[in-house]
């Protein structure tokens, strides 16, 4: 019996991980779409703040690199072979180093400032996402290799 793309509890099931990105929105619950909007808010705000703050540059750079890599990979392998799991893999590749770099700089941040609050929110968002991305990326690699 074929599994329908979706979520098993909190995690993407194997069928969703292998779903082409062009079809993945149909298989997603509304809260995942809302989460994606929140990720865009963090990415855009990081881009704006990156003109003055190095940690925001790390976040903006991670977002930009994962988006550009996604476009490049999608063009190389074709839309039907660029899967939901590929996005998780790109997040792991580009977001993990940004999170580590920011964690190393936390001592220099004023958490009572607007920027400090924003940075904690952005960092928490990325770490939360990476928990799922690491699991999905490892599962996805197991399915395609």
Interatomic CA distance for residues 99 and 67, integer angstroms: 17
Burial class (CB in 10 A: 0-12, 13-18, 19+), 119: buried
Count helices and strands (H / E) in the chain: 6, 2
Higher pLDDT pick, 30 / 1? 30
- Taking residues 100-117, report their average pLDDT: 96
Q: DSSP 3-state assignment of 11?
A: strand
Q: How far is CA 16 from CA 96, 111, 113, in A?
A: 23, 38, 40
pLDDT at 2: 63
Residue 4's pLDDT band, with cuts at 50, 70 and 90, is confident
- 137 and 12 in contact (C-beta within 8 Å)? no
From the list 83, 62, 82, 67, the residue with the least C-alpha distance to 130 is: 62
- The string of pLDDT tens digits covering residues 18-59 is 999 888 888 788 888 899 999 999 999 999 999 999 999 999
Angle of CA points 121, 105, 117, to nearest 5°: 25
Residue 79's pLDDT band, with cuts at 50, 70 and 90, is confident
- The string of pLDDT tens digits covering residues 115-145 is 999 999 999 999 999 999 999 999 999 999 9
Q: How far is CA 108 from CA 21, 55, 57, 73, 127, in A?
A: 39, 11, 15, 37, 20
- Taking residues 74-79, report their average pLDDT: 91
- 120 and 69 in contact (C-beta within 8 Å)? no
């Amino acid at each position: 019996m074929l599994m329908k793309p979706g979520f098993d509890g909190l995690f993407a099931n194997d069928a969703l991980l292998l779903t082409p990105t062009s079809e993945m929105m149909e298989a997603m619950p509304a809260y995942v779409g809302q989460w994606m909007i929140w990720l865009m808010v963090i990415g855009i705000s990081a881009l704006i703040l990156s003109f003055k703050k190095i940690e925001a540059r790390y976040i903006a750079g991670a977002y930009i690199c994962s988006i550009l890599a996604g476009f490049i990979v999608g063009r190389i392998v074709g839309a039907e072979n660029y899967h939901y799991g590929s996005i998780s893999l790109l997040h792991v590749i580009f977001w993990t180093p940004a999170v580590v770099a920011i964690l190393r700089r936390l001592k220099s941040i004023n958490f009572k400032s607007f920027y400090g609050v924003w940075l904690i929110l952005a960092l928490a968002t990325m770490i939360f996402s990476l928990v799922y991305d690491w699991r999905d990326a490892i599962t996805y690699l197991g399915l395609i290799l």
